[in-house]
Every structure is written in structure tokens, then in C-alpha cells.
Chain A
Amino acid sequence: MSSVEISFRINGSEVRESVDPRTTLADLLREGLRLTGTHLGCEHGVCGACTILMDGRSVRSCLLLAVQAHEHELETVEGLAAADGELTTLQAAFAEEHGLQCGFCTPGFLMTITELLREQPDPTDEEIRERLSGNICRCTGYQNIVAAVRKASGRLPQDPA
């Protein structure tokens, strides 16, 4: 099989790569671009650990072929914080509300919630839980993740909406 030339933007930068068509986008990000913040859990779209944003929309990078990213705009967890390392409101809320323990699922949650808060800056608890239902966490029991989202959307972390 022959390589395919692709180009796309990732976290604001233009990238050109030559890829084997069977390479998944997740593997290109992690192994080709050394952006290992995007994680592989189940590799069949269920766990959400591989979630990134493509053209602003959450997608499972394990279910995308790298070649499908050609001419699209990608955002990964590495692109959230500012260049000087300052955390986003959402990341800071996760830290403050203990919304992570091992951190394996966290990048996927952050990208999923980034999409949610862009669409709906003040989501209800039901909307938060609905949107988070596609990301699996084995450590936290989810309550502190929900609290972090509440906090990031400007509410007190313990107050349901």
C-alpha cells in the first residue's frame, strides 16, 4: 500500500504528514506527532479517552483514519492551556474540584466538555450528565467531574441547576 499525503491544522499549527492509510488518527497524534495527551482505552469508540475536537466537534480519534483529518482543524488537550502554561477555566476547575485521580480519562472529558460549554455555557445538571455519559472514568465516581463542570460554568460546584 502507498502512503497518502495529508495536511491539517492542529492546535493552531499547520502540519503535513505522509501516512499509511490504515493509521488511525489517534495513533498519528500519539506516535507521529508525539501528542500523547490523547489516550487509547478501548479503541472501539466506547470509553471516550481518545476524544478530540475536529472542526469544533467532539470525535473519537480511535475511530478516525488519519487520512480523514486532511484539511480539517483539530484540537487536542495539549492545545487547551495557554503557551505560558496557564490553565483554562475548565482545567482549573478540574484541579480545584478533584475531578481527576489517575488522569487517564481526563483529556477525553476535557475535550467533550469544551464542546459542551461552547454550545451551552450554562448547562443544567441533566445536560452535563447526558454529555458526560460517553466518557468512562474508573477512578472518580463522576461526582467531582460534574462539580468541576458546574464550577467552570460559573456556578457553585455543589449546586445543581
Chain B
Amino acid sequence: MKPPAFEYSAPASIAEAVSVLEQHGDEAKVLAGGQSLVPLMALRLARPSVVVDLGRVGELKYVRHQDDLVRIGAMTTHRDIELDGILQDRSPMLQEAMSVLGHVAIRNRGTVGGSCAHSDPAAEWPALALALDAEFEASGPRGQRTIAAEDFFQSYFTTALEPDEVLTELRLPLPKRGTGTAFEEFSRRHGDFGIVAAAAVVRRSGGTISDASVALAGVGGSPLRSTAARMLVGSDGGDEVLQAIGVAVQDEIDPTGDIHGSSEFRRHCATLIMTRAIRRAVDRAEEGGG
């Protein structure tokens, strides 16, 4: 099908975009890369009266490295992230995630901000943001505010953003040197929507795991920061604790089945994918990289 009719707005600045959103409330929808919104509109599952295209807001497209923090403008594409030399070096987890996020043509248009604001339960960026304890910056008629990742993703396709707010920046603390990171995703074909994905961040001190942060996608309405994975802390990160985590995670997740996978299958995947991601992150922490 084709998208239904709408009014089109192409603001040149964040302030102008906010003004248009304020005027139209929840009748307006922000268009970022369009890789999620345009198909939804074509299928007529989304029917905004006004589309606010951020494509001409140049001030939203940047990757700024500030020591161990990377500030990513909301309109930065997945491909920009994939090709960023510093991120390639400092965070293999981001590269692994980008490499399974659709295909190059999707990544050339899809944006970090768009993915987070859309908050598809299977999406990679929400899991990455949670695992890394990211912060979001939003701009609206009431001013700017910072939203922690754990508060940002609320439910299926639902975030803490108000209809008149524009997501402007994602602030990612980069893992310190020596941290092991890994991203693992299961999908039916390479580049398909993930069934389940896991982002793992692990630190070692001597022979034991000193810190661990693991987030899962595809196991409920929004990404999950796994409490079960905290069992890693103080452990040797070996098979025994991994097996215990794989069992315990079942109590935290609530995957809904659909044509891409039943809830039983997703539960099975959650344990499998999470274990693989943690194992790789633990190995990388041992090697002193990640």
C-alpha cells in the first residue's frame, strides 16, 4: 500500500521542530531516517496528520568524543556509527550490533535517535543504551531534559518522550580499557529483525568478574537489564555461573510469541544468546581488550 495523505514540515532547527510538534501535539510524528516510520505509514499502521522531517536539522548529526563519553546526535545514522574509527577500537560491541542491524542500505538512513525513540522491542540500540547506562537528551517546549536509559524505554514502542519533544542526543559512556564487551543476536536470516539479542559488558579484576551489565532485546515490551546476570560479579565467569544465569533469566523475561517465534522459542533463545554474549565478553575481558 502507499502512505495516506499528511501535511509535511521540514524544519531547519531543533527549535523550529519543537514549535511544530507543540502546535500539533500527538497528531504529529517525527520523521528521522524513516526506516521504521515509512513502512508503518505505507502499511497504514501509523497515520500522522503532520510529519516533521528532521532531515534538514544539521545540528542533530554528529559523533563527539569526550574522553570516555561519546555524544551522538539523534540523526546520526547507524552507518556513521559503524564507520567511526574510535568506536571500532573502543567498543566491538557497537560494531557487532551495527553489523546485524538490517543491511547497509538500511543503516545508511536509519538513525540512532530514531531507533531509540521508536523503541521496537527487538531493536539493538535500546539494549546497547541500557547495557552501557546511557543518557538521552530531549528538547521540548518546557526546555531540555536528561533521561536515563533505564527510565527511557517504557513499553512496546513507548518511551518517556512526550509528543512535543524531540530526542536530540544519546550520551554513551564508553567502556574503560580492559572491559570486555559483546553483542549477540539471533535472527532467521542475516539482517532480519532480531528474535532475541544480548549486549554484555564485563570487567575483570584479577581472576574474578568485578562488574557486569547485560541487557536483552526481544524478551518483553522493552529491553531488559538482567538482574540474573549480576551473578557474574564475584564469580570466575565460567560455565557453572553461566548456566545458573541462563536458568535464572527465565524468571525475568516475558516474551510474547508471534509468527517469528513462539514465546517458548524466545525463552530458549534468551538463554542461548545471553550465554554466548556473556562468554564472549568474559573472554575479551580476560584478554584485556573490549
Contacts and interface: CB of A to CB of B under 8 A. Distances in A.
B105 A60 contact: yes
A133 B103 contact: yes
A38 interface: no
Contacts of A4: 8
A9 interface: no
A77 interface: no
A17 interface: no
A63 B109 contact: yes
B39 A63 contact: yes
Interface in B182-233: 189-191
Nearest to A115: B104
A75 interface: no
B248 interface: no
A93 interface: no
Contacts of B189: 133
Nearest to A64: B34
Interface in A27-45: 27, 43-45
Interface string B87-128: 000000000000000111110110000000000000000000
B42 interface: yes
B103 A57 contact: no
A134 B103 CA distance: 5
Nearest to B51: A21
Contacts, number: 91
A133 B106 CA distance: 12
A134 B102 contact: yes
A1 B6 contact: yes
Interface in A7-58: 20-22, 24, 27, 43-45, 48, 51, 54, 57-58
B34 A65 contact: yes
A48 B105 contact: yes
A114 to B, nearest CB: 12
Nearest to B9: A21
B8 A63 contact: no
A51 B51 CA distance: 24
Contact of B103 (A1, A48, A62): A48
Nearest to B2: A22
A63 B7 contact: no
Given A21-B6, A112-B105, A134 B38 contact: no
Nearest to A57: B108
Nearest to B33: A63
B38 A64 contact: yes
B55 interface: yes
Interface in B12-60: 31, 34-35, 38-39, 41-43, 51, 53, 55
A140 interface: no
B35 A68 contact: no
Contacts of B190: 130, 133
B81 to A, nearest CB: 14
B41 to A, nearest CB: 8
Nearest to B40: A44
Contacts of B38: 24, 62-65
Contacts of B103: 48, 133-134
A22 B3 contact: yes
A59 interface: yes
B43 A58 contact: no
B5 interface: yes
A43 B104 contact: no
A112 B4 CA distance: 29
Q: Please give me the 9 A-B residue pairs with the lowest Cβ-Cβ distance, nearest first.
A: A134-B103, A21-B8, A58-B105, A57-B108, A44-B39, A22-B3, A1-B5, A63-B38, A133-B190
7 contacts: A22-B5, A24-B2, A65-B3, A65-B34, A68-B31, A112-B105, A133-B191
